[in-house]
Chains A and B, each alone.
Chain A
Amino acid sequence: MTAATISRDVKAGRVTAEDVVARTLAALDDSRALNAVTHVHADRARKRASEIDRQITAGGDPGTLAGVPFAAKNLFDVKGQVTRAGSRSTDTNAPAGKDAFAIRALESAGAILVASTNMDELAYGFSGENAHDGDTRNPRDPTLSVGGSSSGSAALVAAGAVPVALGTDTNGSVRVPAALCGVAGLKPTYGRLSRGGVVPFVRSLDHVGLFATDMRDLALAYDALQGRDPEDSVQSARPRERAGPRMETTLPIRAARLGGYFDGPLHPDCRTATLAAAQALRAEGPVTLDHAEAARAASFILTTAEGGQQHLPGLIADPDRFGPLVRDRLRAGALVPATWTARAQKLRRRVSRELAVVMRQYDVLLAPATPCPAFPLGTADWEVAGVTLPIRLGIGMFTQALTLTGVPIAVVSRRGETSGLPVGVQIIGRPFEDATVLQAARRLELAGFHMTSAVPEAIHA
């Protein structure tokens, strides 16, 4: 069931928020095999639902997301709990004094937090593997990677357990799992949404992002998440934009497909999906972004260097609390010389300018989200179109190349023609034109870029 439907039904009295929460808790229980959840906030959710029901009984309006259950990556603070960030290195941290801004924003609109979700340790990964909490399993096929690092949030939406979930995206951590799970995903413009109360990974690249069942739900949640947070010094002071009311626009959207670096290696399903999206939007092109490969290199450098600095105290004091997939990468990152990061920051300026020039002619650009559909969990090397990729890194090669520019990017997905697995397409917009990206994504959704939940609705309907 979509967030829009739940909210409408709760407000109309056709169902109570308490009933919605009870069904959602049952759905979370049913989806335990996915290992997508690190904590179920059952008591809190029931209490919140009862408040919303009382408000409605008294004639009040809880907001646009009345009674809508949502999950949040275990990187978002939840009052009274230690934010684990998928790591034992956080074991001795104090419990959060208040909820993250994004959780407060969604709950202000009537939504109900039901669960914190599994993730790649410290958000440093694309595979959904976690040495401490176990791997998240893909609802489309439990032997496959769900993508990461916002693995549990994407899995719960794909399984139909929640209609909306919060994630973060530094190099593709919303876009990759959205594509591999077959759900709608959005990485808004850098600085658009507050990161207040979110454990940092790479401060110059971290974004709060989100997943939803469909594009209208994504817009509904995105609208609710906006708002100025005085505690986030990176957040833009630009006024809010309203994406929801503009989703069905018939205004022309000028689109082009990105070629060059984004042409491969590509699994046939990913290539076909990108071309189909281009055809549906009557996209021109291909156009090229000459600095795309260098942009990916720069993102890699900034990520390892800033991530290493972020966790240096823990690496010195208690390195054994870090899992093997991240510890030595963070150690290496802590040793990166300033010359390398300085060039990466210069490349950021260069590629952002290049992209801005390309986008003078187009409202959105299209590119594959990943080089291939979901790969088997535990895989290190995976062949894609004749090229062997170190897949834990390579699965993010097309998202990482764009993250440096900070532009808004949505992911739409559809079933791959040969694999039967979800494949995703990135829709790239101009800075702070997130609503245009969502409009284009909605058009693609209507053109067939949508997948239903992996678990029958009957389980929790």
Chain B
Amino acid sequence: MRTFPPPPPGFDATAFAKEAAQAIGLPLPAADLAEVALNLERTAGFAQMLAEVPGLDNEEPAPAFRPGEDAG
């Protein structure tokens, strides 16, 4: 059990957060940047864990749209 698995080597969460926030129009005050980056780093660690699961990229994703079954 790894509490927070490490992110991929070289992942710069602060730089990524700044760029990605700008790309989607999300204001990111400088005072909050460190906390957002910390959360992104943790998420990157969990994502890295999935990147290491053998054969996962060839798996079919779970969500399936079922035509005719949409009740909306």
Which A residues form the contact surface with B (CB < 8 A)?
204, 229-233, 235, 237, 261, 264-265, 291, 293-294, 297-298, 300-301, 304-305, 312, 315-316, 319, 327-329, 331-337, 339-340, 342-350, 352, 387-390, 394, 397
Contacts and interface: CB of A to CB of B under 8 A. Distances in A.
The 6 closest A-B pairs by CB, nearest first: A332-B39, A348-B62, A297-B46, A345-B61, A346-B59, A340-B47
Interface string B1-25: 1111100000000001100110011
Interface in B25-51: 25-28, 32, 35-37, 39-40, 43-44, 46-47, 49-51
A227 to B, nearest CB: 13
Contacts of B5: 297
17 contacts: A229-B71, A261-B1, A265-B1, A294-B49, A297-B49, A298-B50, A304-B39, A312-B26, A316-B27, A329-B39, A332-B40, A335-B20, A335-B21, A343-B57, A345-B63, A346-B57, A348-B62
Report the contact-size class of chain B (Cβ under 8 Å from the partner): 35 or more
Contacts of B49: 293-294, 297
Given A232-B71, A301-B43, A304-B39, A394 B62 contact: no
A344 B46 CA distance: 10
A204 B24 CA distance: 22
B50 A331 contact: no
A389 B56 contact: no
Contacts of B37: 332
Interface centre among A297, A315, A344 (most CB of B within 10 A): A297
Contacts of B16: 335
B24 A349 contact: no
Contact of B24 (A237, A335, A394): A335
Contacts of B59: 346-347, 349-350
Given A297-B50, A328-B35, A346-B56, A304 B63 contact: no
